[in-house]
Chains A and B, each alone.
Chain A
Amino acid sequence: DTEVTQTPKHLVMGMTNKKSLKCEQHMGHRAMYWYKQKAKKPPELMFVYSYEKLSINESVPSRFSPECPNSSLLNLHLHALQPEDSALYLCASSQDKGSSYNEQFFGPGTRLTVL
């Protein structure tokens, strides 16, 4: 299995809602990533988890809350979002081999619309 899956594919939510995005991989990867991609822009890194511990937080607002309950699963909890948070949210995973190159495998993304 060389796939990263993301659910849901599409999500529409109001500014007062609480929702979660889910990402799963079964490649034995120990590093997982969340990226945000606005229309016609490149992906921007949000968070990196390494061995289920948060290793990088790119100054993301607290209305985005990541969670890595186990090595195969990565969640992104959403609360009190703003319309400008509407974007494609991409998950990626890679091995974590210290000094070696670790290719990132991307999921298809969740397209989020905040009304």
Chain B
Amino acid sequence: DVKVTQSSRYLVKRTGEKVFLECVQDMDHENMFWYRQDPGLGLRLIYFSYDVKMKEKGDIPEGYSVSREKKERFSLILESASTNQTSMYLCASSFGSGSDNQPQHFGDGTRLSIL
């Protein structure tokens, strides 16, 4: 069965800290994505990666960076956390080229609070 695992369900950090959110998928997917979900705004894409060591900015990349050193793992990094980054973060993955009809599979999310 398809599995996308996010390392933490809940996380509390302080302003200015460097924060790492980890995501692992076991489906050999080429593509991986990080979204944030906020009430009234739906899901917004932060970054995505279509291959190891490759990354592309999404709609709201400011204040974030990503790392993809291995195919199965995609990390989201908040370089210096701020209170406006308090949100639900969702990781997703999907197959790549030649699989245009394949959906994205999501993890259960990490609810991050920045104090």
Partners in one complex: no
